[in-house]
């Protein structure tokens, strides 16, 4: 989707205090072998705010002191937002914009944050204005072991927000695209439908899926096909070549996974990635891309003229990629 008049008018993030992997190893939460292999040095762990409250804090930063009229709040997440059988987006809309702005919850796994941005872009294509995209997660619910439930990442808590506008901003989203392969949806449920009770075990479900549903080579090749096709589409629509990419913001995973993504699939230098930052936060569920871009912008790691590639991805399989051009100094 070519988006010549779509801007980033604001960004926000909330990250609670970090717990080092060394501390987790000393407490017996995480093995030294896993810590060495993953490369992750710490994760953010909330002890005060539920996920929806963290989203409100990130959203307020993105909106600034004088929020413009906003047409909708799109909120993405994986885990509990603070209450059962409850929609978090209306709460976020209420506590940032008031009673009259619609809020929509979105579930698209770890790709949810960027998927919210794309849906916001499609909404703004008809009528313009502003849309607020948020994402937040907190991974301390019963049965969720943030350190050991997934061999490909460690989960952190936090929230991100992006204010989209057709009226201008400090960065322009020149294109955004989503690739899908619904044939890979079973990766996060295994070879059946696991019972609700019991601990979350993404590693075990993935192993059952790869042993009984789809062989590893086919699975990896199909993921590669989706990502490479989406990358080509979004770069073509943005009118940029890979050598123009200044930085890239992936979903946070272990270092071997990130290296594989950049070297074998994206064809980009992994030094461009924000993984060094993500290795200090852990995988923030649906919020990685929003928080990663916020980090680049607020630390001065990007400046006008730079081009950032946002690389989402989540079970389903879906991946959303966006090209962001920084056009002005951050206010």
Single residue among 169, 204, 231 that ends a domain in this structure = 169
The three-state secondary structure class of 325 is strand
If one counts the domains in the chain, the total is: 2
Nearest Cα residue to 312 out of 330, 331, 294, 285: 285
* 259 within domain boundaries: yes
Distance of CA 218 to the CA centre of its chain: 25
Examine the domain organization and report whether 210 and 85 are in the same domain: no
Q: Which of 143, 169, 195 is the last residue of a domain?
A: 169
Q: Which of 120, 154, 133, 114 is nearest to 249 (CA)?
A: 114
- What's the domain range around 123? 7-169
State residue 3's pLDDT score.
80
Q: 272 by DSSP, 3-state: which?
A: helix
Residues 49 and 188 in one domain: no
**What is the mean pLDDT, run by run of 10 residues, along the chain of 331 residues?**
90 98 97 96 97 98 96 97 96 98 96 98 96 98 95 97 97 98 93 82 93 95 98 98 97 96 96 97 98 98 97 96 94 75
Q: Give the Cβ contact number of residue 64 at 10 Å.
A: 13
Last residue of a domain, one of 137, 169, 201: 169
162 with 83, same domain: the answer is yes
Tens of pLDDT, residue by residue over 115-127, are: 999 999 999 999 9
Q: Are residues 39 and 70 in the same domain?
A: yes
pLDDT at 243: 96
Residue 77 lies in a domain: yes
Is 2 among the domain residues? no
If you count DSSP H runs as helices and E runs as strands, how many of each does the chain have, helices first? 10, 11
- Whether residue 102 lies inside any domain: the answer is yes
Separation in Å, CA 124 to CA 30, 55, 112, 148: 44, 22, 18, 40
Residue 296 in domain = yes
156 and 74 co-located in one domain: yes
Same domain, 178 and 322: yes
Both 143 and 208 in a single domain? no
- Return all residues near 207 (Cβ < 8 A) that are at least 6 apart: none
Tokens of 281: 């936060």
Residues ≥6 apart with Cβ < 8 Å to 56? 91, 92, 95, 96
pLDDT, position 4: 75
Please give the structure tokens belonging to residue 102. 């619609």
CATH number for position 189: 3.40.47.10
Say if residue 59 is in the same domain as residue 154: yes
Q: Answer yes or no: do 161 and 190 share one domain.
A: no
Render pLDDT for 235-286 as a digit per residue (tens, 0 to 9): 999 999 999 999 999 999 999 999 999 999 999 999 999 999 999 999 999 9
Residue 98 resides in a domain: yes
**For residue 69, how many other CB atoms are within 10 A of its CB?**
9
Same domain flag for 148 and 251 = no
Residue 249 φ/ψ, nearest 5 degrees:
-115, 100
Task: Flag whether 331 is in a domain.
Answer: no
Q: Are 213 and 137 within one domain?
A: no
Whether residue 1 is contained in a domain is answered as no
Range list of H helices, 39-172: 51-63, 88-96, 112-124
**Residue 196 has what pLDDT?**
72
Burial of 241: CB neighbours in 10 Å, binned 0-12, 13-18, 19+? exposed
Query: Is-contact 227 260, C-beta < 8 A?
Result: no
How far apart CA 240 and CA 261 sit, in angstroms, is 20
One domain, residues 72 and 208: no
What is the pTM (predicted TM-score) of this model?
0.97
């Amino acid at each position: 989707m070519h988006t010549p008049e779509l801007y980033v008018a604001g960004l926000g993030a909330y990250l609670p205090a970090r717990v080092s992997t060394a501390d987790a190893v000393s407490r017996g939460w995480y093995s030294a072998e896993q810590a060495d292999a993953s490369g992750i040095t710490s994760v953010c762990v909330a002890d005060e705010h539920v996920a929806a409250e963290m989203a409100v804090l990130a959203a307020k930063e993105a909106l600034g002191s004088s929020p413009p009229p906003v047409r909708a709040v799109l909120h993405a997440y994986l885990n509990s937002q603070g209450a059962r059988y409850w929609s978090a987006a209306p709460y976020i809309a209420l506590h940032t914009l008031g009673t009259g702005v619609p809020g929509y919850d979105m579930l698209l796994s770890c790709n949810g944050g960027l998927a919210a941005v794309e849906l916001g872009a499609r909404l703004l294509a008809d009528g313009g204005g502003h849309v607020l995209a948020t994402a937040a997660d907190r991974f301390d619910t019963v049965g969720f072991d943030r350190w050991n439930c997934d061999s490909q990442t460690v989960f952190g808590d936090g929230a991100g927000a992006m204010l989209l506008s057709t009226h201008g901003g400090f960065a322009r989203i020149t294109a955004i695209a989503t690739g899908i392969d619904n044939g890979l949806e079973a990766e996060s449920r295994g070879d059946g439908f696991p019972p609700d009770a019991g601990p979350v075990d993404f590693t075990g479900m993935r192993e059952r899926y790869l042993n009984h549903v789809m062989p590893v080579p086919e699975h990896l090749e199909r993921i590669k096909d989706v990502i490479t096709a989406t990358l080509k589409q979004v770069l073509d629509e943005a009118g940029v070549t890979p050598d123009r990419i200044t930085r890239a913001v992936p979903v946070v995973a272990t270092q071997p996974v990130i290296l594989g993504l950049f070297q074998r699939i994206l064809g980009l230098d992994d030094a461009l990635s924000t993984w060094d930052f993500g290795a200090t936060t852990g995988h923030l569920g649906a919020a990685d891309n929003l928080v990663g871009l916020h980090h680049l912008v607020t630390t001065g790691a990007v400046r006008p003229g730079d081009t950032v590639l946002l690389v989402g991805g989540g079970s389903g399989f879906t991946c959303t990629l966006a090209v962001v051009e920084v056009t002005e100094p951050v206010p």
